[in-house]
């Protein structure tokens, strides 16, 4: 297990806004028990402001929107598609494998889009890239779970090439390129969540594997409709956590040379 992987997991556990607010509350209680009343009140106010602000306000939408809008939706132009890559993250391996049923999370659109594209481009190669993103390497692997989902949506599971070594987005790109050895001039589509697309595209560019974005799994209604408040604190905190994690990921990947630009963008159309 690489040091970058370990540090990123540990760092995110501490830095996730929802977790950080809870840590502040714990510090507030500890300070009050130690009779540090002013310090305890400061921590309590900060924690409450964070939970209320990120939980109910549209702050999470504004953090998420630039990520989702960076790459436009894919529009077919009649050109052939040689291959389609779906990144893991939609499956819930432990539930799927233990119960023997399909278990997907909020990113289930990845599976639906992948299956639809497979039918739309029957000659295209199909690749699922994703091993295990967990600390515990004994946990069920993603491809064991996603096979069940593919079968349920009518996709021939034997048609899919499974990349099972990667543990993060950078490794998705490295291991997928090794597995399929793309030929210059081929057109490959990359299916992943819209908010994740900038970092994913950057990783594939860094390893010399140009791909075309096929963003799915949108979490906001669009740039003109970001001001709605959340009715549940958990909903606002969830979208905030996801967006902050992605922005931090972009920074960490750029600083460590895993993506060529801080905020990868679509390449100019060839003339």
Question: Of 163, 157, 116, 161, which Cα lies nearest the Cα of 141?
Answer: 163
Q: Tell me which residue has tokens 């909903």.
A: 235
Residue-range domains of the chain with CATH: 75-217 (3.40.50.620)
Q: In this predicted structure, what is the pLDDT of residue 138?
A: 54
**How many Å apart are CA 114 and CA 154, to the nearest integer?**
11
**How many Å apart are CA 258 and CA 170, to the nearest integer?**
6
- Give pLDDT tens digits along the chain (271 positions): 567 778 787 888 889 999 999 999 999 999 999 999 999 999 999 999 999 999 999 999 999 999 999 999 999 999 999 999 999 999 999 999 889 899 999 999 999 999 999 999 999 999 999 976 554 555 567 888 899 999 999 999 999 999 999 999 999 999 999 999 999 999 999 999 999 999 999 999 999 999 999 999 999 999 999 999 999 999 999 999 999 999 999 999 999 999 999 999 999 865 4
SS3 10: helix
**How many Å apart are CA 202 and CA 206, to the nearest integer?**
6
Give the contacts of 195 (CB within 8 A, at least 6 positions apart): 64, 67, 68, 217, 219, 242, 243, 246
pTM for the predicted model, two decimal places: 0.92
Q: In this predicted structure, what is the pLDDT of residue 137?
A: 57
């Amino acid at each position: 297990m690489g040091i970058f992987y370990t540090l990123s997991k540990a760092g995110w556990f501490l830095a996730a806004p929802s977790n950080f607010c809870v840590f502040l509350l714990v510090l507030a209680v500890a300070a009050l028990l130690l009779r540090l009343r002013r310090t305890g009140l400061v921590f309590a106010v900060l924690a409450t402001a964070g939970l209320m602000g990120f939980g109910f306000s549209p702050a999470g939408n504004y953090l998420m929107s630039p990520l989702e809008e960076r790459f436009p939706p894919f529009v077919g132009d009649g050109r052939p598609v040689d291959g389609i890559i779906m990144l893991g993250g939609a499956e819930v391996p432990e539930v799927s494998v233990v119960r023997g049923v399909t278990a997907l999370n909020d990113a289930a659109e990845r599976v639906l889009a992948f299956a639809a594209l497979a039918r739309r481009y029957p000659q295209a190669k199909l690749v699922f890239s994703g091993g295990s993103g967990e600390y515990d390497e004994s946990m069920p692997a993603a491809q064991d779970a996603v096979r069940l989902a593919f079968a349920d949506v009518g996709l021939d599971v034997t048609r899919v090439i499974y990349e099972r070594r990667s543990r993060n987005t950078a490794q998705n790109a490295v291991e997928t390129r090794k597995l399929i050895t793309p030929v210059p001039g081929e057109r490959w589509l990359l299916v992943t969540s819209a908010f994740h697309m900038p970092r994913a595209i950057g990783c594939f560019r860094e390893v010399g594997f140009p791909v075309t974005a096929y963003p799915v799994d949108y979490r906001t209604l669009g740039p003109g409709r970001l001001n709605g408040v959340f009715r549940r604190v958990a909903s606002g905190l969830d979208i905030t956590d996801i967006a902050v994690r992605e922005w931090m990921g972009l920074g960490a990947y750029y600083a460590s040379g895993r993506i060529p630009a801080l905020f990868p963008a679509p390449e100019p159309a060839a003339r």
